[in-house]
Structure 1
Amino acid sequence: MASTTDPGTAAAERTGQQGGAVPAIALEGVAKTYRSGGEQVAAVRGVDLEIAEGEFFSLLGPSGCGKTTTMRMVAGFEEPTEGTVRLKGTDVTGVPPHRRDVNMVFQSYALFPHMNVFDNIAFGLRRKGVPADEVRRRVGEAVELVELGGRERTRPTRLSGGQQQRVALARALVNRPSALLLDEPLAALDLKLRQSMQMELKRIQRDVGITFVYVTHDQGEALTLSDRIAVMNDGRVEHLGTPQEVYERPATRFTAGFIGTSNLLSGEVSASAGGVAEVPVAGGLVRAVCSAAAGDRVEITVRPEKIALAAEADGGAESGGSELPGTVTEVVYLGSATHYTVAVDGDGGTELTVHQQNTAGPTGAARRGDRVRLTWRPDQSYVLPG
């Protein structure tokens, strides 16, 4: 069941710009409203998306943002109030779920407890009248794909949560759908198992080569798994891009705050030269690579791991860099890294988060109440669009 797609072709397809190739899934102006208490409530507001063949695509956002409703409209469990859903170019709006060439994996697994692993996986094939020999062969392939060989006669109640999730995946994949829809499938697992299953999902998707659409509220999970991410908020797509794009260059203030941890600073540009703007902020100066002119109001984000923290007495910043003086107010030791909260000087009450790897050992750590200076390069300051 391994994919035979040429790696170069697959990479080109996963950009979502396939030079005219028909996308696996397309949403055109899709909206969904419900009536609640006599009022219309908008769950999804005019979403346009194209998901490429063989892409691992994630819908990411907080609870109530519309991501699960969007997936359910792709599956056919919900019908859009407006807009069109297409699968491989075919309009399937109004087509019932069992007639759409997609399968869905739920958070609850939805396994049959009275059936063993083999029978759970074979259930859909038998319902379709697939010959017994073909059922055995395809179930055997699916079992090997999810690495459950030897467990075929075991009932779900005797499996771990991770093994049950593998059975649910095998049951969905054995039908060879054109796309697999996964609704927070790892949410019920503990942290270590969830991280292990993330790697397994990535491997399985790469082996079978079909389109995966993944719903999650976990930013780290989306960044780990996805070729592209649609960040959703209040029924709309706030940012669509690769994991690196949505993390390093967020399109909106919401994306900057929701994806990982971000420090947000605002101010008025005092000078601009050579593509670098200077913004006085909270007792210091922030420099950012951007096209803003003197007098412009800007909002700047800088990630905690980009910031260097040093004792105030250690000297000034490198020429052309940003520098903010402040006082450490909180220290959280996390083993491989330490997270600091620093109240920067000035009367605005601005606090920044700084993440530092623990490479210097305990003697190099700052303590609460220490005076420090924060520095980073101009290209590590990102000015939010608009």
Structure 2
Amino acid sequence: MSRTYAGMGAIVTEPAPSPTPAIELDSVVKEYRARGEIVRAVKGVTFAIAEGEFFSLLGPSGCGKTTTMRMIAGFEEPSSGVIRLHGEDVTGVPPNKRDVNMVFQSYALFPHMDVWENVAFGLRRKKVPEPEIRRRVGEMLEIVNLTGMEKRRPREMSGGQQQRVALARALVNRPRALLLDEPLGALDLKLRQAMQIELKRIQRDVGVTFVYVTHDQNEALTMSDRIAVMNEGVVEQLAPPREIYERPATAFVADFIGTSNLLAGTVERVADGVAVIPREYGRVLVAGAACAAGDRLTVTVRPEKITISTEEPAGEVSAVRGTVAEVVYLGTYSSYAVGLADGTEVTVFQQNAHDNTATAERGDAVWLSWRPQHSYAIGS
């Protein structure tokens, strides 16, 4: 909240002090020695996570995301840099002295204990009074929709139910942040999708900061307030899901998040804020790119933004001609692979609306078109 006061005959408004982030990493580096060589798993990562945020670390295997989380938890120590939890430097502080809990993919439930005792375990170790244990465990089981299952053992429960027990056990201790290392990886696709929505609901209900590690783009896009996309130990982009998807900062992000088409070319001219890139059998128009004639651009366009037609499109749109190499029916939409004259292959997603009639068949000559604002110039 800002403060306003009178001073020297003027009204002065002080800006509100910025709230302390829940978690901060400042130039964090992690190095390992392997076969006599130094391997840098994390290379100077810096970011801040707000209180109550659902924050995801997303990237392929070996990108450094799990190592980063383990350093936040205290299971690994950074080779250099600083980690702060709620403004306090915890670099070198052991895991049991940090006000965070962690949920692993394996859940690590006690098989000989029922649900109630699994959830109450941490409270009993802290010697919390029994009435308080009953109240807090009951509240937490209600939040994760496990009321009535208190006496079940883990082996008597589904994977999704076990995952909720693990969440309840971690959250009942009231940590200020919860770290989740690919907790849905062992579930089948349909249950995993259902649990994504459930996890977001639970996080919203309890208001705890969640830091979520995953290699699954859909998980990150579905649940996160912000996503840090990691590659080879660095954060390539940190932004909300929509920005990550619609405006990828690098070719890696564009290719890793969903499906994207990358087209490169030299700008012929710029008119009214729209760059024109001529291509064999067509043109690519890019709106809002900071460029000039002669610049080399790499442009990304998402498959669902492209219209496929057997006739040349009219109007101020990107338009390229190619040949359909493959058509795959996927239920709600069809996927077209279209080869351009220069050897580039473009993927197009077309919604299957009222019938199953394909717009084009394999071997057909087609035109692909999209609006200039759907071409986005990216970095390397």
Please state which band the TM-score falls in when normalised by the shorter chain: over 0.9
% identical aligned pairs: 65
Q: Distance in 1 between matches of 2:95 and 2:281?
A: 59
**Partner deviation per Cα, 1:308-354 (whole Å, 9 max, x = no partner):** 0011xx3x32311110111111111110000110001x2x2110000
Corresponding letter in the other structure for 1:179: A
**Is the contact between residue 276 and residue 291 of structure 1 (CA under 8 Å) also seen in structure 2?**
no
State the partner residue of 1:146. 144
1:362 corresponds, among 356, 362, 376, to 356
Question: Taking structure 1 as reference, are residues 283 and 140 closer, same or farther at Cα in structure 2, changes over 3 Å only?
Answer: same
Residue 90 of structure 2 aligns with an amino acid whose one-letter code is V
Match of residue 163 from structure 1: 161
- Could you give the per-residue CA deviations for residues 137-188 of structure 1, whole angstroms, max 9, x where no partner exists? 1110111010011110100011000000000000000000000000000011
CA distance in 1, matches of 2:106, 2:256: 26
SS at match of 2:31: strand
How far residue 360 of structure 1 moved from its aligned partner, in angstroms, is 4.5
Following superposition, the deviation at residue 245 of structure 1 comes to 0.8
1:353 aligns with 2:347: yes
1:29 to 27, 30, 33: 27
TM-score, with normalisation over the residues of structure 1? 0.93
The equivalences for 1:85-104 within 5 A come to: 85-104=83-102
Deviations 1:105-160 (A, max 9, x none): 00000000011100100111111111111111111011101001111010001100
Question: Does structure 1 residue 382 correspond to structure 2 residue 380?
Answer: no
In the alignment, what sits opposite 2:267? 269
1:328 aligns with 2:324: yes
Give the aligned partner of residue 237 of structure 2. Answer: 239
Unpaired segments ≥5 residues, structure 2: 1-15
Tell me the distance in 2 between the aligned counterparts of 1:282 and 1:215: 42
Query: 1:107 maps to what in 2?
Result: 105
CA drift at 1:371:
1.3
In the TM superposition, residue 19 of structure 1 has moved relative to its aligned partner by: 5.5
Residue 167 of structure 2 aligns to a residue whose secondary structure is helix
1:283-362 matched pairs, under 5 angstroms:
283-289=281-287, 290-311=289-310, 314=311, 316-344=312-340, 346=341, 348-362=342-356
Tell me how far apart the structure 1 counterparts of residues 202 and 29 of structure 2 sit (CA, whole Å).
32
User: Which residue of structure 2 aligns with residue 3 of structure 1?
Assistant: none
Q: Indicate the SS of the match to 1:171.
A: helix
Residue equivalent to 1:45: 43
Distance across 1 between alignment mates of 2:219 and 2:253: 15
Q: State the alpha-carbon separation in 2 of the partners of residues 228 and 178 from structure 1.
A: 18
- Aligned-pair distance for 1:284? 1.2
Structure 1 stretches of at least 4 aligned residues deviating more than 4 Å after TM superposition: none
Give the distance between the partners of 2:107 and 2:185, measured in 1 at CA: 11
Q: State the match for 1:15 in structure 2.
A: none
Out of 247, 251, 255, the residue aligned to residue 253 of structure 1 is 251
The equivalent of 2:80 in structure 1 is 82
For residue 357 of structure 2, give the secondary structure of its aligned residue in structure 1.
helix
Cα offset, 1:364, TM superposition? 4.1
**C-alpha separation between the residues in 2 aligned to 1:318 and 1:98?**
65
Q: Structure 1: how far apart are the matches of 2:301 and 2:33?
A: 41
* SS of equivalent to 1:330: strand
Amino acid in structure 1 at the alignment position of 2:352: N
1:324 touches 1:375 (CA, 8 Å); kept in 2? yes
Partner of 2:171: 173
Separation in 1, partners of 2:188, 2:20: 38
**Higher mean C-alpha displacement, 203-212 vs 359-368:** 359-368
Tell me, in whole angstroms, the C-alpha distance in 2 between the residues paired with 1:291 and 1:96.
48
The secondary structure found in structure 1 opposite 2:48 is strand
Amino acid at match of 1:331: V
Deviation for aligned residue 1:256: 0.7
Q: For residue 173 of structure 1, what is the amino acid of its counterpart?
A: L
Provide the secondary structure at the position in 1 that maps to 2:202. helix
State TM-score, norm by structure 2: 0.94
> 2:305 & 2:180 partners in 1: Cα distance?
33
CA RMSD of aligned residues (A): 1.0
Report the 3-state secondary structure (helix = DSSP H, G, I; strand = E; otherwise coil) of the residue aligned with 2:160. helix
8 A Cα contact 2:308 2:359, kept in partner: no
Please list every run of 5 or more consecutive structure 1 residues that lacks an aligned counterpart in the other structure. Answer: 1-17
Distance 1:136 1:320 in 2: 66
Letter in 2 for 1:383: A
Q: Which amino acid aligns with 1:300?
A: V
Partner of residue 222, structure 1: 220
